[in-house]
Structures are given as structure tokens and as C-alpha cells.
Amino acid sequence: MAEVSLTNISKAFGKTQAVDDITMTIEDGAFVVLLGPTGAGKTTTLRLISGLEKLDSGTVKIGGRDVGGDTPAQRDVAMVFQQYSLYPHLTVRDNLAFPLRSPILKTPEDVITEKVNKIAEVLQIPHKLGNKATELSGGEMQRVSIGRALVRDPSIYLMDEPLSSLDAKLRADLRVELKRIHADLGSTLLYVTHDQIEAMTMASHIGVLEEGRLVQYGTPKEIYEDPRSVYVAGRLGLPRINILPVSLFPGDHKGTQIGLRPENIRQGDGIEATVIRAEHLGDHTRLHLDLQGHAITTLTDPHQAYAPNTTIKINPQSPLYFDASGARVV
Ligand SMILES: Nc1ncnc2c1ncn2[C@@H]1O[C@H](COP(=O)(O)OP(=O)(O)OP(=O)(O)O)[C@@H](O)[C@H]1O
């Protein structure tokens, strides 16, 4: 496994600046998640590291070595894509063994069998090893795709939304498995997702991308509790952070906008808000409020009933302040 460092990397497609001057170090053994909405440049960043896309400028180093002139095979990265990419005419066993049979690796057959069996166990597909890839469900095919990366011992795993096509239960199981595999192998992993639960639970660090730029890099806790902008604050947290004019709240405040996480709105005293709707979700309730024409969402006691149009009092806790441009005011 190896450290990967990106220095001022950029890539444009015509007029679209897909990746814009990103500098970032993915430490040896780290599990780094790239977060950002569609079009933010996540996939392009992975493709630049793997060598599937050519840099316009900047440097990619893997294990301290500039890989700019290397082919994807020479870079020794294992990539898992959003859509499975299996050899349809091969069995699951042969699909999993394929990377190990590369002439460069020269892996002995008994080692291949052992590794394939182990990874099939992890991915809960040992009974499918004899099937052709075409005889699998979509979820099974994606597990084989992930397995094909995991049988290898590359410098870095690059994963592009590998769990997005799976159902919720399997996604949750594989989230735990990937985290465990990462801890066991001590592998370096760069992982793209839209799913903030994946980001929060698996990442050692999160890089937030906005229009091709890396706008914040930190631990999940830092990104959640100490976001640099409204944009970053909105990337983590469900329901999303409430962003409101600071003038709604009495007292001396900084900036022009206040950011309140749903769990940071206390009830009982403070300013009046009107209940719009309560969503009972079992272990908690989401309460939608109107505050002088602004919508607010907060979390509340699951046992309490809230009738629409009732007035309650709310009080902000641990507010975050932002200026008119959305930058954090410290
Ligand atoms: N081969 C290409 N040709 C032209 N434009 C491209 C190409 N690949 C990516 N782009 C553009 O570059 C920008 C970044 O795309 P990229 O796929 O990296 O985003 P992303 O963050 O991975 O998005 P998603 O979450 O939808 O996968 C987008 O505006 C996209 O349309």
C-alpha cells in the first residue's frame, strides 16, 4: 500500500473545468471519501489517479513516485466502478481470479484458489462461484466487481460509488465489511459516494469537492462540526442544516446567515415558531416549523404529539455563522 499525493492537478473537458487545481495527500492506509454533488469532479479525480484520464497539469505521485508517464496497469491501482464490469462468458471464480492471473503477478494457482475462496466468503457469494457472470443478479455482479479489486494487493483502491446499485440491507452489510477489510489489509482507499452515511461511517478523512475544487479536507467530525462554508455544511447531516437570516434571532450575532443543525434547536423558550407537520420515524420525530416565513426542520421526542398550527418556542444552540457569500465567519 502507498501514499498518494496530488499536487495542483487540473483537467478540463472543452469549457468544463472538471478538476480545478486540487492538491491533496491520501496518507498510506487512509480511507478517504470524496463528497460532492453530481458534476463536482469526483469521478474525474479517480480517473486521473488511475491513469484512465490524462492530466492537463499537476502531478500524481503514488508511493512517492511521479506516475504521470505510466499506463494504468503500471500504476498498480484497483478500481471499482459504479456499474459492474465483468467478463460475461467467465464464471464468478474466473472473474475473481482474473486479476491474479495477470502475467505480471504470476500468482500460483493454489494461492489464487485460496484468495478467491476467502473473498467469496466475505462477499457472501461462495455458492455462486461456479455460475457464469450473466447468471447473477445486479447486486451479485456488483459484489463480484468489488471482489475482483479486493483479491489484489494494489497500491491503492479507487472506488466509484461501488455500493449504489445494491439494496439497503446489502449496502449496510458491505459498508461494515469494507471498513473491516480496510482495517485488516491496512489498504489505502479513495472512495466516491453521494451517501453521507457511507462517508460518515467509513471515512478516516473526507474531501469535499465543489465545481472541481477541493473546498475542505478533514475528518468526518471536523467537516460536520466545523464546516468552512454553507456549501460544506450542507454536504453532511440529515435532515440538512437549517440556513436562516441571522436577523430572525434576537441578540448580537456575527455574519448574515445562521446555520442550525436540526439537533441544535432547543424547545421551551426563545422565539415563536409554528408547527407545520411532524414526521414520526420511530426512534425520533422530525418536526417541520415555520419561523416568520422560513422553513425549519428539527428533531424531537418521538413520544410527543404536535398538532399542525400549534405555536412552540425555540432557541438555537451551537450556531454556525456565515457571511452573505456563504463563507464561515469565525
Ligand atoms: N469525458 C468527458 N467529456 C466531457 N465532459 C466530461 C467528461 N467526463 C466528465 N465531464 C464533465 O466534467 C464534470 C465533472 O464530471 P465528473 O464525472 O468528474 O463528476 P462527478 O462528481 O463524478 O459526478 P457524478 O456524481 O454525477 O458521477 C461534469 O461537468 C461532467 O459533465
Picking from 198, 228, 258, the residue at the C-terminal end of a domain is 228
Q: How confident is the model at residue 329 (pLDDT cuts 50, 70, 90)?
A: very high
**What lines the ligand 1 site, CB under 6 Å?**
13, 16, 18, 36, 38-44
Question: Does 83 score more than 80 pLDDT?
Answer: no
Asked if 200 and 269 sit in the same domain, the reply is no
pLDDT confidence of residue 33? 97
Q: How confident is the model at residue 124 (pLDDT cuts 50, 70, 90)?
A: confident
Cα 210 to ligand 1 centroid, rounded to whole Å: 12
Distance CA 158, CA 46 (A): 6
Mutate to test the pocket of ligand 1, among 10, 38, 81 (most ligand atoms within 8 A of CB): 38
Cα 295 to ligand 1 centroid, rounded to whole Å: 33
Distance CA 40, CA 19 (A): 8
- Which residue type sits at 141? M
Cα 247 to ligand 1 centroid, rounded to whole Å: 39
**Contact at 8 Å (CB) between 228 and 221?**
no
C-alpha grid cell, residue 84: 459492474
pLDDT confidence of residue 6? 98
**Looking at ligand 1, which residue's alpha carbon is closest to its atom 2?**
13
Distance CA 177, CA 181 (A): 6
Which of 56-65, 119-128, 240-249, 272-281 has the weakest average pLDDT?
Answer: 119-128
Q: How confident is the model at residue 253 (pLDDT cuts 50, 70, 90)?
A: confident
Tally of domains in the chain: 2
Could you tell me the end-to-end alpha-carbon distance of the chain, in angstroms, rounded to an integer? 38
Task: Please name the helix (run of DSSP H) or strand (run of DSSP E) that holds residue 93, with its range, or none.
Answer: helix 92-97
Q: How many helices (H) and strands (E) does the chain have?
A: 9, 17
Asked if 153 and 199 sit in the same domain, the reply is yes
- As a whole number, mean pLDDT of residues 234-261 equals 92
Asked if 128 and 212 sit in the same domain, the reply is yes
Angle between the N-to-C axes of helices 109-122 and 138-150, in degrees from 0 to 180, rounded to the nearest 10: 130
Question: Does 164 score more than 90 pLDDT?
Answer: no
pLDDT per residue over 291-302, tens digit each? 999 999 999 988
Q: How confident is the model at residue 105 (pLDDT cuts 50, 70, 90)?
A: confident
Distance CA 223, CA 237 (A): 10
Asked if 11 and 121 sit in the same domain, the reply is yes
Residue partners of 246: CB distance under 8 A and separation at least 6:
253, 254, 255, 256, 257, 258, 321
Question: Does 192 score more than 80 pLDDT?
Answer: yes
Residue with the three cell numbers 438555537: 316
pLDDT confidence of residue 256? 95
Asked if 74 and 184 sit in the same domain, the reply is yes
User: What's the alpha-carbon Rg for the chain, to the nearest Å?
Assistant: 23
Asked if 249 and 224 sit in the same domain, the reply is no
Q: Which domain holds residue 129?
A: 4-228
Distance CA 32, CA 291 (A): 38
Question: Does 84 score more than 80 pLDDT?
Answer: no
Q: How confident is the model at residue 169 (pLDDT cuts 50, 70, 90)?
A: confident
Q: For 36, phi and psi rounded to 5 degrees?
A: 165, 155
Q: Is residue 237 part of a domain?
A: no
Which of 39-48, 59-68, 179-188 has the weakest average pLDDT?
Answer: 179-188
Residue partners of 143: CB distance under 8 A and separation at least 6:
123, 124, 125, 166, 170, 174
- Which residue type sits at 7? T
CATH at 219? 3.40.50.300
Asked if 275 and 215 sit in the same domain, the reply is no
pLDDT per residue over 109-118, tens digit each? 999 999 999 9
Question: Does 44 score more than 90 pLDDT?
Answer: yes
Asked if 158 and 202 sit in the same domain, the reply is yes
Which of the two residues, 139 and 227, has the higher pLDDT score?
227
Residue partners of 253: CB distance under 8 A and separation at least 6:
246, 319, 321
**Closest alpha carbon to 147 in 201, 194, 74, 85:** 85
- Which residue type sits at 160? D
